[in-house]
């Protein structure tokens, strides 16, 4: 596919791609970056784009995946670091004790919040996290489908996160 054909097919769709990206990322700059990444990716694979029957659907799928990757990387970079300034002010010989106490407080908070989860969500979360069971094993054990297990686990994590954040505030 030549540059003129590429421009005539893909550039008119850029507004739609931007709207999808903005809907997912909720940021103008991030959406513009995602669209730029999309066109970069499409340009690199222009040799195989001739077989694409529906450029809009293909482009939306690719931009959606790019945006979801961006969201995931943002979520992964938001790791919770338990009060590093607290550790800096503690003398060296007390650091281990302080970390242990903070860790126990956080663990107790998580236990309290987990106890407030609905039974099925709590059970699925415990099997996945503590027993390290696969989705299939959890589904076999509970009689739910694997999809239902994934949904319960996702809801349990969201509810637990919300409860912990509420406890902190």
**Whether residue 164 is found in the same domain as residue 88:** yes
Would you state the pLDDT for residue 85?
A: 47
- Residue 106's pLDDT band (boundaries 50, 70, 90)? low
Which CATH number covers residue 131? 1.10.10.10
Whole-angstrom distance, CA of residue 97 vs CA of residue 49: 60
Asked whether residue 33 falls in the same domain as residue 98, the answer is no
Q: Tell me the pLDDT tens digit for each residue of 4-30.
A: 888 999 999 999 999 999 988 888 999
82-91 pLDDT, tens per residue?
444 444 444 5
How many domains does one find in the chain? 2
Domain boundary among 49, 77, 105: 77
Rounded (10°) angle between helices 135-142 and 146-168: 100
Q: What is the rounded CA–CA span in Å between residue 84 and residue 60?
A: 42
Same domain for 20 and 63? yes
Give the residue with greater pLDDT, 92 vs 28.
Answer: 28
Domain identity same for 98 and 40: no
Q: Do 99 and 41 share a structural domain?
A: no
Q: Which residues contact 37 (CB under 8 A, 6 or more apart)?
A: 66
- Give yes or no: residues 28 and 69 share one domain: yes
Supply the CATH number for residue 54's domain. 1.10.1740
Q: Which of 77, 111, 139 finishes a domain? A: 77
On whether the CB atoms of residues 53 and 99 are closer than 8 A, the answer is no
State pTM to two decimals: 0.47
Q: Which domain holds residue 157?
A: 84-168
**How does residue 147 score in pLDDT terms, banded at 50, 70 and 90?**
very high
Pick from 37-41, 76-80, 100-104 the range whose average pLDDT is largest. Answer: 37-41
Q: Which of 31, 62, 77 is the last residue of a domain?
A: 77
> Are 59 and 116 within one domain?
no
Residues 89 and 72 grouped into a single domain: no
Q: What is the mean pLDDT of the chain?
A: 81
């Amino acid at each position: 596919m030549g540059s003129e054909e590429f421009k005539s097919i893909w550039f008119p769709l850029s507004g739609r791609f931007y709207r999808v990206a903005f809907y997912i990322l909720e940021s103008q700059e991030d959406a513009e970056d995602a669209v730029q990444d999309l066109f970069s990716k499409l340009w690199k694979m222009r040799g195989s784009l001739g077989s694409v029957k529906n450029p809009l659907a293909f482009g939306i799928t690719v931009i959606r995946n790019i945006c979801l990757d961006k969201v995931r990387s943002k979520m992964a970079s938001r790791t919770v670091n338990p009060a590093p300034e607290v550790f800096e002010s503690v003398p060296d010989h007390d650091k281990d004790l302080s970390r242990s106490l903070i860790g126990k407080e956080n663990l107790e908070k998580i236990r309290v919040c987990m106890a407030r989860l609905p039974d099925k969500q709590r059970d699925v979360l415990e099997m996945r996290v503590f027993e390290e069971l696969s989705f299939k094993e959890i589904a076999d054990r509970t009689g739910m489908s694997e999809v239902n297990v994934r949904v319960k686990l996702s809801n349990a994590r969201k509810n637990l996160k919300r409860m912990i954040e509420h406890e902190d505030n």
